[in-house]
Amino acid sequence: MAVFSVMKMVKKVGCLERVRAIDVTNTSESPEVTMNTVEEWKQEKHPLEMIELVEEFAEEGLTFDEIEEREGEGVWERMKWTGMYTHGVQRGYIMMRTKVPGGYLTPEQAEVIGEVATEYATAPEEFGGEEQNELWGDAFLDITTRQDIQKHWIEIEDVPEIWDRYDEVGLTTIGGCGDGARNVLGCPAAGLDDHECFNAQPVVDAVSDFFEGNREYSNLPRKFKMTISGCKEDCAQSQINDIGLTPAKRDIDGEWQYGFHAKVGGGLSDGPRMASPLDVFIPPEDAVEFCRAVAQTFKELGDRNNRGVCRMRYLVQQMGPEKFEEAIRDRTRVDFPTRGVDLTEGYTGDHVGVHDMKQDGLKYVGFNVITGRMGGDEFAAAARAAEKYGTEDASIRLATDQNFLVTHIPEENVGDLLAEDFADDYQPDPGPFSRGAVGCTGNEFCNYAIIETKKRTKRWARELDERIDTPDDLDVVRMHMSGCSASCAQPQIADIGFRGETVQVDAEGNKDIPDDAGTEDFENLVEGMDFGLGGALGTDNEFLDWVETAVPARAVIPALEQLFAAYADERAEGERFYEWSRHVENSRLRSIMQQADANVSGGVAHGD
């Protein structure tokens, strides 16, 4: 089926599926169910009412204390539905998350995002001002693993002005956080590359439009993550989302039709689970209805008592994929056909580099942004460069590896684009560690994170590229650092994954700690991490093993040097690092790490 046919079919979806939703929705709640505290806060006031309340807070100039006194302690939880979190450690300031469905931005939208960061994401002098971060200074933004943009240091009084500027170019923060549909992921190279079966961006947009601001599906048991791609290489990570739609084809009434296969119940955090395939084929025009029916199933059957196990993956695991599919079919009037021919061939984790587009003479350039953080002025400059050097179809695309693409660049203009000042630190030919480095927000702003991540990940990636001589055919080493167990940096799917810990080491920093050591021997608390190896998505998908726990941060690079020396000596031809680490016993991996001249195994997680 031609791309234009897919686009034509999804145009009718928005209004049609809202009618279907009304027909089948059951909004009753069982009075016998004991709800957790967050559910009680949501019952007090629908979280979407916070949109008007935030504007009132800004107009009246209310402080955080005054807001809490007026609205109660649940106000900050409900405010998440507007796409904003309070800072974990700097009271009075907010993190704002901008949704970018499929990662697609026009140059105009990207420029506005950069300008807003430059003007409003600024730290006060008491927190360091322009020098608050020695690597990025001030007024920066973060590209996330969900193709969002996050900005810090936002004040409530500035939110209405930011929203007005966003409205002018078709951007929103609504639904960026909270227990509803989060940003819908897609392939960042949709419509550009010949690795796709069809361009699914119109479907991404239709699904996103349906759920945005939809009160029926803005109070789910927990966050709800979807990914939709027509790409053969599963760039949008269907295996670790609540819903993953990937390309397929099926014989329908004697004609082959493109559509989607579905996986459900994937996710990371403390209970990682690979998504389960369902026996359904979804025509593009019914994709919104399928996603709605899944959300309805989750809404009715999901756990609202224990917030620790209320993600949809727990429900799928409890019911089993077959029963879960039956529940979906019971909640829709569309008779979805059974599976057809799956068209997914593997997994591509990034689009860094200069690539040919399907259109002759055009290129797209994948810039490498270690940990996704860059200056707002740099992002705005990238947007202006896209407009300057690209065709009228030029765009900025955000990727799940925290990098970005500039598209529709005539081949003769690529050199000029790469020579722009903004590109100095983000060139598309990085070393393997820089290319694969992903980092969460860390304890700089997040009150869940135990360790600092952004600066550490960037410094380590650059240092490892200099210190470790990797094989010539190894273009990327995926190294993901999460500040806590919430897995925002997706460590479980990386070659090398880190999970933050506060680590106790003995007073001398000795590796060998006596069995009878008391607490007085562990007076030194340092930042450290659990150390995992062997994760990947794709046809050989597997979560990593946590090989060593409570490794002091200063011991990590020496340990990696030992591991990569052994890998270089022992690898089979073409074998990637995660493949090698899987067939080596964990006990031997630990032994290799312990050969480093560093306190690799001498720490204990604080509190254990």
Confidence of residue 181 (pLDDT cuts 50, 70, 90): very high
Q: pLDDT at position 32, please?
A: 58
Closest to 592 (Cα-Cα) out of 572, 570, 573: 570
Q: pLDDT at position 332, please?
A: 98
Reduced 3-state DSSP string for 290-317: HHHHHHHHHHHHCCCCCHHHCCHHHHHH
> What's the mean pLDDT in 547-554?
95
Q: pLDDT at position 326, please?
A: 98
Q: 214-271, pLDDT tens digit by residue? A: 999 999 999 999 999 999 999 999 999 999 999 999 999 999 999 999 999 999 988 9
Report residue 81 CA to chain centroid gap.
Answer: 17
Q: Is the pTM here over 0.85, yes or no? A: yes
Q: How many angstroms separate the CA atoms of 276 and 293, rounded?
A: 17
CATH 3.40.50.1820 fits 433-605, yes or no: no
134: DSSP letter: T
Strand residue runs (E) in 173-317 = 226-228, 243-252, 255-264, 276-277
Q: How many angstroms separate the CA atoms of 453 and 458, rounded?
A: 9
Domain ranges of the chain: 1-31+196-347, 353-425, 433-605
3-class SS shares of the chain: helix, strand, coil, % to 5:
40, 20, 40
Reply yes or no on whether the pLDDT at 16 is more than 70. no
Burial class (CB in 10 A: 0-12, 13-18, 19+), 255: exposed
Confidence of residue 512 (pLDDT cuts 50, 70, 90): very low
448: DSSP letter: S
Contact 106, 395 (CB under 8 A): yes
Closest to 294 (Cα-Cα) out of 334, 257, 344, 259: 334
Radius of gyration of the chain (CA): 24
Q: CA–CA distance from 112 to each of 115, 170, 387, 409, 418 (Å)?
A: 5, 11, 13, 21, 22
Confidence of residue 588 (pLDDT cuts 50, 70, 90): very high
Contact 296, 28 (CB under 8 A): no
Tell me whether domains 1-31+196-347 and 433-605 share a fold: yes
Reply yes or no on whether the pLDDT at 446 is more than 80. yes
Q: 185-224, pLDDT tens digit by residue? A: 999 999 999 999 999 999 999 999 999 999 999 999 999 9
Write out the two tokens for 519. Answer: 């607490």
> What's the mean pLDDT in 426-448?
96
Reply yes or no on whether the pLDDT at 350 is more than 80. yes
Q: Which CATH superfamily is domain 1-31+196-347 in?
A: Sulfite Reductase Hemoprotein, domain 1 (3.30.413.10)
Confidence of residue 88 (pLDDT cuts 50, 70, 90): confident
Q: 218-234, pLDDT tens digit by residue? A: 999 999 999 999 999 99
- Average pLDDT, whole number, for the chain? 92
Confidence of residue 511 (pLDDT cuts 50, 70, 90): very low
Q: How many angstroms separate the CA atoms of 187 and 102, rounded?
A: 6
Strand partners, 405: 366, 397
Q: pLDDT at position 18, please?
A: 33
Q: 351-400, pLDDT tens digit by residue? A: 999 999 999 999 999 999 999 999 999 999 999 999 999 999 999 999 99
- Number of Cβ within a 10 Å radius of residue 125: 9
Write out the two tokens for 234. Answer: 């599963």
